Structure 1
């Protein structure tokens, strides 16, 4: 083979190999990426439908919500001060009784006999004093003799009063107006001072007892008004604080408070739980927003506002909280439009469409 032909073939083969290498290492267009790119671009521009609210200053009431219980104004387990057999029960279970009303009695026949005997001695003792005094006026008797009969008369009076006191102890009387509960004994039973006859409860007025966190302790004072609700009733009842405990409970770090509810008609019974609302401060022209608009992030609070069709985050400083709103003390102003839904999906600069504006 001719030498020129041989070198020509070698040159052609080398050029082919070089061309193939250049083709393999040249970057090619990614068809899958090209197909996905329009979707990504579309997603970047996709807007989110949200609800919004235009901030309008309004009155904001700082309220404290706690649980409590209704308590009777007075309550006592009734029992006799002495022992004996019950001979009479003079009350109807569940009825209203008045202060001083006789409720029950134990046998006092022996005491009555002693009282009669002492009373029978009174005329003679009084006559002795009268006669001795007349004799003393004429110096016919010593003063010591006169003092002796006076002492005997005074002792007789004291014995009579003692017997009467013992007789009073055989009578069980209502210490205050109230509703008497179920009786625990029957006529003929033997009662002692430890025997409970029935429970007497004063339900007009009622006490409302509850506890507040220690940070509110100085805000709760005598005269503070509150309202409460109980299960099964839609209406609220108004009460007024009349006393607070003298110190903070070191275990619960709360202050026990009591209020009075008139309960004029006796419609509420003690022992029920109550949901209590305490009004603290009223702030006029407050900037307040729904609590769901707040987005906590790394120890800070932010909200998203609507500006030129997109969502923009704003750091805010919050004040008091109510059941549904949060006061904003810095970061927002009247007229700002805040986004109240989809807050977890929102990002800086994301386009948004306002579905509902309050």
Structure 2
């Protein structure tokens, strides 16, 4: 049987519980007061830690943007040949210098034709004798003193001798290497006294006054190309201006593997000579298309690129005194036009976008626009990327 507690112990236990309850109530009151004090304070803005950041910005406006198709092409001459020997023979004379301009029909190389010249002299003498015999036979046949069979024989002998002369003249012409058209000669590939075989080339001949460029376009872009369409060629040289050309032909078939077709453009004669373009050079072809209306052109300096993609810094709630709030916006870019790029997605006309000072800005920071201009103030280039 448990013994009853003394009177002193029974008095101390209720007193301890009352003390703990008092402390708990006091702590609750303090916590409530602290929460009420914090709730009564205004929420500070994200930029309360410093002054607004000064930036330069531009206002996007819808405008008409040029459109071009760009491709890599290779130049070739409309007329370019190697000058080969038609027959075997020893080089008797070289009548040209490398790099010189020659005219059509000009003699360049003479092969030894002494044997053919001697045969020609004999054949010409035989032709003269046969012609005289034919004339005598014709006179006798007219009086009936000569049979028709003999006259026909004299005619055949004359024809054979004349054909022999023509044959030797043709063989002698084959001993000459002549320029088939006017142009510029390449490096000399033969030497005096060298024995040439048929097909051995003496030099190359190129007509630089008329050049063509061949380039490939994917099948989805062929609808934009037509014969007679104008285009520009950029050689890449800093001191060379773009050269104008015109589409002259489009391959009617699309490649089975590449799904592209070859387009050929011809340069104007004056352009090729003036800019000293050469066959084999690579050029950038810019095919002009109808302009695009309602395009948003953003200065390239406003684009920030990271591993997550492209983004721009837009100024929100811009006040009359130029104060606004920073907002980073992901964007999708299109083609480049000079120093600007086309914005396909992410921004709209009227948006104010920071062009300078983005690196000092955090999301939600206060911004002060100290230099603002319309995006149309930037000069538009005449070329651009693919649409």
TM-score (ref. length: structure 1): 0.80
**CA 1:234/1:202 → structure 2, altered by over 3 Å: closer, same or farther?**
closer
Note the C-alpha offset of 1:188. Answer: 0.6
- Correspondence 1:205-216 to 2 at 5 A: 205-216=210-221
Asked if structure 1 preserves the Cα contact closer than 8 Å seen for 2:240 and 2:275, the reply is no
1:65-85: CA deviations, max 9, x gaps? Answer: 222233223211111100011
C-alpha contact 1:303 1:316 (8 A) present in aligned 2: no
Q: Which residue of 1 aligns with 2:352?
A: 338
How big is each residue's C-alpha offset from its partner over 1:291-321, in whole Å with a ceiling of 9 and x where there is no partner? Answer: 766899x99x999564454568999999876
Q: Which residue pairs with 1:4 in the alignment?
A: 7
Does the 8 Å contact 1:287/1:329 carry over to 2? no
Asked if structure 1 preserves the Cα contact closer than 8 Å seen for 2:296 and 2:348, the reply is no
Establish whether residue 290 from structure 1 lines up as the match of residue 305 from structure 2: no
Give the distance between the partners of 2:343 and 2:79, measured in 1 at CA: 42
After superposition, the Cα gap between the structure-2 partners of 1:193 and 1:25, relative to the gap in structure 1 and judged at 3 Å, is: farther
Paired position in structure 1 for 2:252: 246
* Gap change, CA 1:331 and 1:204, over 3 Å in 2: same
Contact 1:318 1:330 in 2 (8 A): no
1:104 match: 109
CA RMSD in angstroms, aligned pairs only: 4.1
Q: How many residues align?
A: 347
Deviations, residues 135-157 of structure 1 (Å, cap 9, x unaligned): 22222232222112111111111
Check if 1:166 corresponds to 2:175. no
Query: Take 1:258 and 1:196, find their aligned partners in 2: how far apart are those partners?
Result: 28
Cα deviations across residues 155-175 of structure 1 (Å, max 9, x unaligned)? 111111111111110000001
Asked whether 1:52 is paired with 2:52, we answer no
Match of 2:341 in 1: 325
Query: Is 1:256 the counterpart of 2:265 in the alignment?
Result: no
Asked if the contact 1:289–1:328 (Cα under 8 Å) also holds between the matched residues in 2, the reply is no
- Flag structure 2 segments of 5+ consecutive residues without an equivalent: 319-323, 374-387
Alignment equivalent of 2:68, drawn from 63, 71, 87: 63
Say which SS state the counterpart of residue 201 (structure 2) adopts. coil
Evaluate the alpha carbon distance shift between residue 268 and residue 289 of structure 1 in structure 2; reply closer, same or farther with a 3 A threshold: closer
The answer to whether the 8 A contact 1:203-1:266 is kept is no
Q: What's the CA shift string for 1:309-340, capped at 9, x where partnerless?
A: 4568999999876453326699845xx13324
**2:243 matched to which residue of 1?**
237
Note if contact 1:101-1:173 (Cα within 8 Å) is conserved in structure 2.
Answer: yes
Instruction: Check conservation: 1:52, 1:337, Cα contact below 8 A.
Output: no
- Is residue 195 of structure 1 aligned with residue 188 of structure 2? no
8 Å CA contact 1:321, 1:327 repeated in 2: no
The normalised TM-score by structure 2 is 0.74
| Counterpart in the other structure of 2:78 | 73
